[in-house]
Amino acid sequence: MASIIIVGDGPGGLSAALFLAKAGQDVTVFGMDRTGMNHAYLYNYLGIPEIDGPSFQQLARFQVTSFGARIVDEEVEEAAVEGSGFSVSADGGSRGDYLVLAEGKGLRLAGALGLERDDSGAVVVDRNGRTSMERVYAVGQAVRPMRAQAIISAGDGAAAALDILSTEAGRDVRDWDTPPKTDE
- Does residue number 4 form part of the binding site for ligand FAD (CB under 6 A)? no
Which of 2, 4, 5, 10 touches ligand FAD (CB under 6 A)?
A: 10
The closest alpha carbon to 148, from 119, 106, 98, belongs to 106
The CB density around residue 179, as the number of other CB atoms within 10 Å, is 5
Query: Using CA atoms, how far apart are residues 142 and 76, in angstroms rounded to an integer?
Result: 16
- Does residue number 123 form part of the binding site for ligand FAD (CB under 6 A)? no
Q: Which is nearer to ligand FAD, 42 or 162 (CB)?
A: 42
Which residues, numbered 52-111, are part of the site for ligand FAD (CB under 6 A)? 75-76, 102-104, 106, 108-109
Helix (H) or strand (E) holding 4: strand 3-7
Binding piece for ligand FAD, criterion CB under 6 A, among 61-69, 112-120, 125-133, 141-149: 141-149
Min CB(44)–ligand FAD separation in Å: 5
Which of 37, 69, 100, 159 touches ligand FAD (CB under 6 A)?
A: 37
- Does residue number 12 form part of the binding site for ligand FAD (CB under 6 A)? yes
Q: What are the strands, taking DSSP E only, across 8-157?
A: 26-30, 41-42, 51-52, 70-72, 79-82, 85-88, 95-96, 98-101, 136-138
Cα angle for residues 50, 64, 11 (degrees, 5° grid): 50
Contact track, ligand FAD, 147-176, x by CB under 6 A:
-xxxx-x-----------------------
